[in-house]
Amino acid sequence: MKKICILFLLCVSFVWGNQNIDATLEVVKKFGNLPHILVQNIGKNYSQKEYSLKIFKMLVADLKVTGHFSVQEGEELSSAMAINFDEYRKAKVDLIARVGAEVMQNGLVVKLQLYDVNAGNLALSKEYKSAQLAAYPFLAHRLAIDINDYIKAPSVDWMERMVVVSYYTKPGESEIISSDYTLTYKNTLVSGGLNIFPKWANDEQSAFYYTKYLDKPTLFKLDLLTGENKQILSSEGMLVVSDVSKDTNRLLLTMAPHEQADIYLYDLPNGALKKLTNYRGIDVSANFIEDEKRVMFISDRLGYPNVFAISVNGESAGSVEQMVFHGRNNNAANAHGNYIVYSSRETSDEFSRNTFNLYLVSTQSDFIRRLSANGVNQLPRFAKDGETIMYIKHDENQSALGIIRLNYNKTLLFPLRGGIIQSMDW
The single-letter code of the amino acid at 388 is T
Q: What would the pLDDT profile of 391-404 be if each residue is shown by its tens digit?
A: 999 987 789 999 99
Q: Are 421 and 413 in contact (CB under 8 A)?
A: no
Q: What would the pLDDT profile of 333-363 be if each residue is shown by its tens digit?
A: 999 888 999 999 987 766 567 899 999 998 8
**Considering Cα of 210, then 213, then 218, then 223, what sign does the dihedral take?**
negative
SS3 string, the chain, reads CHHHHHHHHCCCCCCCCCCCCCCCHHHHHHHCCCCEEEEEECCCCCCCCHHHHHHHHHHHHHHHHHCCCEEEEEEECCCCCCCCHHHHHHCCCCEEEEEEEEEECCEEEEEEEEEECCCCEEEEEEEEEECCHHHHHHHHHHHHHHHHHHCCCCCCHHHHCCEEEEEEEECCEEEEEEECCCCCCEEEEECCCCEEEEEECCCCCCEEEEEEECCCEEEEEEECCCCCEEEEEECCCCEEEEEECCCCCEEEEEECCCCCCEEEEEECCCCEEEECCCCCCCEEEEEEECCCCEEEEEECCCCCCEEEEEECCCCCCCCCEECCCCCCCEEEEEEECCEEEEEEECCCCCCCCCCEEEEEEECCCCCEEECCCCCEEEEEEECCCCCEEEEEEEECCEEEEEEEEHHHCEEEEEEECCCEEEEEEC
Give the lowest-confidence range in 65-69, 148-152, 183-187, 290-294: 290-294
Share of the chain above pLDDT 70, in %: 89
Mean pLDDT computed over 88-113: 94
pTM: 0.88
Phi, psi of 374 (to 5 degrees): -160, 175
In whole angstroms, give the CA distance from residue 114 to residue 94.
11
**Considering Cα of 351, then 297, then 249, then 178, what sign does the dihedral take?**
positive
Burial per residue of 91-106, b for 16 or more beta-carbon CB atoms within 10 angstroms, e otherwise: eebbbbbbbbbbeeee
How many residues are given for the chain?
426
Q: What would the pLDDT profile of 153-194 be if each residue is shown by its tens digit?
A: 999 999 999 999 999 999 999 999 999 999 999 999 999 999
What is the chain's mean pLDDT, rounded?
89
Mean pLDDT computed over 224-246: 96
- Model confidence at 327: pLDDT above 50: yes
Do the strands 186-190 and 356-362 form a parallel or antiparallel pair, or are they unpaired?
unpaired
Q: Are 308 and 299 in contact (CB under 8 A)?
A: yes
In whole angstroms, give the CA distance from residue 205 to residue 163.
9
What Å distances lie between residue 105 and 29, 56, 69, 157, CA to CA?
A: 45, 21, 35, 29
**Considering Cα of 373, then 406, then 203, then 419, what sign does the dihedral take?**
positive
Do the strands 121-130 and 283-289 form a parallel or antiparallel pair, or are they unpaired?
unpaired
